[in-house]
Every structure is written in structure tokens, then in C-alpha cells.
Amino acid sequence: MTPEPNAVVHDVLARLAEASRAGLTGVLNGSGILLHTNLGRAPLAREALDAIDDTARGASNLEYDLSTGRRGSRYDRLGPLLRAATGAEDLLVVNNCAAAVLLVLDTFARAPDGSGREVVVARNQLIEIGGGFRLPDVLARSGAVLVEVGATNKVYAADYARALTPRTALLLRAHASNYRIDGFTADVSGAELAALGARAGVPVVEDLGSGALSDLRAYGLPHERTVQDAIGEGIDLVAFSGDKLLGGPQAGIVAGRSALVKRMRANPLLRALRVGSITLAALGATLRLHLDPAARERIPFYRMLAAPLDALHARAAALAARLDGLDLRAERADGYVGAGALPTAPFASVALAWHAPRGGVDAAAARLRCGAPAVVARVDGDRVLIDLRTIPPERDGDLAAALEAAG
């Protein structure tokens, strides 16, 4: 039986739409999670995009010293900016924070004969990050020997001191990503651990993860430990991300003592972990915005944090009035930072709530995800919630079109 021409056309269009969704495409993040790991984490500032365009459209001085006319180092391109932003003596940029930790372990926890040396970690910091990757597995893959100290809820400086042996390579702290332990607890501060490491002659490394360079208390949130906090407490090496609270591209940064960074620069593994000109350009532009407090909110993450509730409510009300054929209302909602930072600290936001749409809320949310542009919302009871804090105001027209098509 010959299919109807219209059916063939409909089927072809449906297959093409499905194929386009399988590739990388932009979406509108209405989840209320500012740094959504599955949605690309931090959106880039206009300045970062312009820097990418300027660098990527032609040749650049990636490994060329314009002053001498000789070969230069890509690792020197962001040195002054990173030193000014963090207070560290020296730094190194690799392709993500996990790579930064791996490079640290490979450099310092591998003996000359290739055997693993000991890395001391508190039991309450043996974390699992996204995708099922666990810190003990990273340590094992690097060849390091894990030495656990303390209990799940309590660890003391004396626990670390008792674990020291001639084969101890590092004392390691890890950021509590996506969880908190409260109640009957005790922990060791960065300053205490740094002091112990200095007395023992053992470097102290902190996997900070989130990469905060600014105090989030300015935005009404609890304090999230910053890179400057860790460096100021005497931590020898701090590893952190470029695409989380820093608000830049995916990258891993190691900041700390120049003698230790120099050893990592000499590690052959660094070549497998290095970043290209596009990452360096975007990261440099983002750091310049951080260094100017008046310009920080041009970084989209900080612009989202700073958006006033009354402005969000006005946007939601305007969209509801524009789409009066749909049952849309402005409602208060809870948003989250995301990317492992402040997991138990919601902050007030405003969502456009779509009540009991045709076919049910799950089907409506699916229509939004499969539209053009794709809109990622969340389902709450009989409502589809689209948080406007995580959608740029200039995209409200696109959101309205997507809702109208999905309605």
C-alpha cells in the first residue's frame, strides 16, 4: 500500500526534528538551577563570546611571544589575571577540575619507581561526583594509595597527624559536592591542615570544585568557600573549575605555590590535558569581569543571581497576559545554584506556572523539550514550572513562541 504523501512528509519532518535534537543544540533553561550540569553549566558573558570570536577566526599568539618573536607558552597567557584574581603565586589551566586533580596526583603521589605514594583524605570527603565518578577511584587510577582518616561525621587534625608516614605524598581536602553533613560533627579547617602539612613537609591540596572567586553572601546566599579563602589559609595547591561559580568555560585551574606548579608544568601528562586558545580566550575575558566589581554582573551567572524578584514577577505577568489562551500564572518558586554548590540553600525566584495543560503535565513538559527552541522546565504536581531567573529576559519572546506552539 502506497503511503499518503502528507504522511510521508510528516514522518520525514519528525525524523529530521528528532535527529536535530540528538545533536548539540541550545535550550532555554527554565529549571531554576542556575548552573545545571546537564545543560552546559555556566552560560558565557558577551565579552567571553567576543574573545572567542576574535581568537578563533584567525591566528593567535597561543604559543608565540610577540615581544621576542620566539616560541612562548600557552600557560603564561592568563598568569597575571589569575594571580590577581586568586592571590596565588602561580597557576596552571587544564581541561577540567578532575584533570587538575589527576595531574596533581600523578605529579606528587607517584614515586620514581612508579609505585604509588600515600594520599591522606578524611572519610567524610570521599565524594562521588556526577556520572558516578568517585574520588577513591580517581586516586586508584592515578596510582596513589588512599589513606582514610576520621569517621563519617567527625575528623580531627590528630587523625591526619597519626596517618603520616615516610610514604605520605599529600594531605587532600575535597569540596562537599551536592551534600552536607549536619549535627554531631567535627572537621579540620584549611588553616589547621595547612599548618600540619607545613610542619610535616607534606603539601596540602584542596579540590575546591566550585571555583568561587566572589562572596555569594552579597546575593543573599550562605558563604561558599572561595579560592582566596583557601590560598589565604596556606593551602599549597587549590584545584577548581572554570565553568561553575567562576562563570567561564569548562576548564580546571590549579593555583598555589610556584615551586609546586613548576613541577606540574614539567609532567608529560600535561600535554594530554592542555586547553586551546578558545578556552583561554573565554576564561581571560571572564576573569577581567571578575576583577572589576562593577562589571561582575555582566557574567550571566551573577546577573541571574542579582535579578530582583519584582522584575521576575513582572516578566511572568507579561508573558501570562501575552498568552491569555493558556492557563499561565506567576508563582513564587525556589531556585538553586547547582553544580555542587550550596545544595541545601534554595533562594527565592519566580516561575511561570502552566496549570493542567492538555494531555497532562508530563506530556506538556515533553512538548516544550521537543520544541524550537527547546525549553527545559520542571513538573510540580499539576503544573509545569518555568523558572524565569534562569532564562535571559531577552529570550522572553522565544519562550512565548515555544509555549504557544506547545499549547
CATH class for domain 22-42+300-406? alpha beta
Instruction: Name beta bridge partners: 148.
Output: 121
Please list the pLDDT of the chain residue by residue as tens digits (407 residues). Answer: 677 776 656 565 566 556 556 678 999 999 999 999 899 999 999 999 999 999 999 999 999 999 999 999 998 889 999 999 999 999 999 999 989 999 999 999 988 887 889 999 999 888 776 666 788 888 888 889 999 999 989 999 999 999 999 999 999 999 876 677 778 889 999 999 999 999 999 999 999 988 899 999 999 999 999 999 999 999 999 999 999 999 999 999 999 999 999 999 999 999 999 999 999 999 999 999 999 999 999 999 999 999 999 999 999 999 999 999 999 999 999 999 998 888 778 999 999 999 978 899 999 999 999 999 999 999 999 999 999 999 999 999 999 999 999 98
Name beta bridge partners: 173.
206
SS3 call for 187 = coil
Is the pTM above the cut of 0.75? Answer: yes
Cβ(147)–Cβ(167) below 8 Å: no
Judge if 22-42+300-406 and 46-295 fold alike in CATH terms: no
Domain-wise residue ranges, the chain: 22-42+300-406, 46-295
Helix (H, G, I), strand (E, B) or coil at 252: strand
The third-level CATH classification (topology) of the domain covering 46-295 is Aspartate Aminotransferase; domain 2 (3.40.640)
The 10s digit of each residue's pLDDT in 224-254 is: 999 999 999 999 999 999 999 999 999 999 9
Asked if 128 contacts 137 with a C-beta cutoff of 8 angstroms, the reply is: no
* 100-134: pLDDT as tens digits: 999 999 999 988 887 889 999 999 888 776 666 78
CA 141 to chain centre: 23
41 alpha carbon, distance to own chain's centre: 6
Q: What is the 3-state secondary structure (H, E, C) of 250-319?
A: CCEEEEECHHHHHHHHCCCCHHHHECCHHHHHHHHHHHHHHCCHHHHHHCHHHHHHHCCHHHHHHHHHHH
Q: Are 237 and 255 in contact (CB under 8 A)?
A: yes
